Amino acid sequence: MAIRAVDLTIFIGLALLTGAGTAWSAERAEIRAGAAAHPVATDTRVGGDDSQTRFVIDFSKKVEMRAFTLADPYRVVIDLPQVTFNLPPKTGETGRGLVKAFRFGLVMQGGSRIVMDVGKPVRIDKAFVVDAAAGQPARLVVDLAATDRDSFMKALAAEGRPVRAAATGGVERENAPKGDPRPIIVLDPGHGGIDNGAVAGTGVMEKDIVLEFATELRDQLERSGKYRVVLTRTDDTFIPLIDRVRMARIRQAALFVSIHADAIKKGEGEAQGATVYTLSETASDADAGRLAETENRADVIAGIDMSHEPGDVADILIDLAQRETKAFSLHFARTLVGDMKKVARMHKNPMKSAGFKVLKAPDVPAVLIELGYVSSKDDLKLLTSGAWRTKTAGAVSQAIDNFFTTRMAGAAAGSR
């Protein structure tokens, strides 16, 4: 099968790293407790016009920083030590001047990042940090100036492309205890860190919903004693898409389940219920294609340059030659829909397909579950319910049992 280039930069909308609702008090307490360990970002300002723009962020103490630019789409990236972002809701949704919008969050343990979306090529005129003085907080200042594409690309080439952030999840081969025949299941709670995923009108974030669900599902699977379970992330950390796939492949996983939630923008209609996706180069419908584009933008959201991935990683993403893997994925998806619809509200078209990057390992059966829509009031109520989470995770666990039971039965029959 011919290997083709994969477009690793498809545009996604903005997301915010903010607390919300009943978590407000707990979040502020955590911020106070962690303030001594990590600098706290307390305010931001953007001023200027389409020729010159200044970005300022206040901190509880001086921080080290590194600023650089990225192209296609144009972005300015600021790397920081680990920071606690104590900023008002909706911070970064809109910008001013050259800065269209910005986002911020953890990209690895010990490292935070601010990514500014800019509408045209820019150069970093100045980037500096000043100490707190005269009752004023420490400040980080970045001055941007408009430039042309040729100058932008020459500057980018001169400084060299930044090395992408390392994932904290690790992808070392996980050696099973000798004689342990239990299959490894990799659960992939989407998004994390700087990448919040879909955000409800109440401020509840997809990354938190899916991590709680994946943790509950892991606990149920582990209690059964039938499986070894690995999570691609266990906390609010960003993991690049390629590393999520790599974790499953290097561990020789028997199944990969990516867990997400969706959202529909105002004016684009209404939708509710869970959907199960399998891999297809051609999206099953327009909504499936939209969702794949959105989910595939995670690395761009975090300002990570993926242009120098080694050839074997490209093979992971591109080589889809193993038809057996696709057949197993489709079989599990059908089983999953059948078990989930017994306990959970399902989308009117509960099985779809699209080109999700996290499903592209050629040798690991994989599905992506959209648990529901955070843009739906009814769905959001369920997605944030502990009782619903337990019940629905139980249905997914049952589907996994059914999948492996039929798969082992088929293997036994074929060996006769």
Q: What is the pTM assigned to this prediction? A: 0.74
Return the pLDDT at 261: 96
Return the pLDDT at 166: 37
Q: How far apart are CA 273 and CA 47, in angstroms?
A: 42
Return the pLDDT at 79: 93
Burial class from Cβ neighbours inside 10 Å (0-12, 13-18, 19+) for residue 96 reads middle
- How many Cα atoms within 13 Å fall on the side-chain side of residue 324? 5
For 266-386, list the strands marked E by DSSP. Answer: 274-279, 346-354, 366-373
Phi-psi region of 28 (alpha: psi -120 to 50; beta: other; left: phi over 0): alpha
Q: Which of 178, 137, 146 has its CA nearest to residue 69?
A: 146
Q: Are 260 and 295 in contact (CB under 8 A)?
A: yes
Torsions phi, psi for 247 (to 5 deg): -60, -45
Question: Along the 416 residues of the chain, how does pLDDT read in single tens digits?
Answer: 333 333 323 222 323 333 333 343 444 444 444 445 889 999 999 999 999 999 999 999 999 999 999 988 899 999 999 999 999 988 998 999 999 999 999 888 889 999 999 999 999 999 999 998 888 999 999 999 999 999 888 888 776 654 333 333 433 334 455 567 899 999 999 999 999 999 999 999 999 999 999 999 999 999 999 999 999 999 999 999 989 999 999 999 999 999 999 998 876 667 899 999 999 888 888 988 888 888 888 888 888 765 555 544 445 444 444 577 888 999 999 999 999 999 999 999 999 999 999 998 888 999 999 999 999 999 999 999 999 999 999 999 999 999 998 766 554 444 44
Domains of the chain are 21-159 (2.60.40.3500), 184-415 (3.40.630.40)
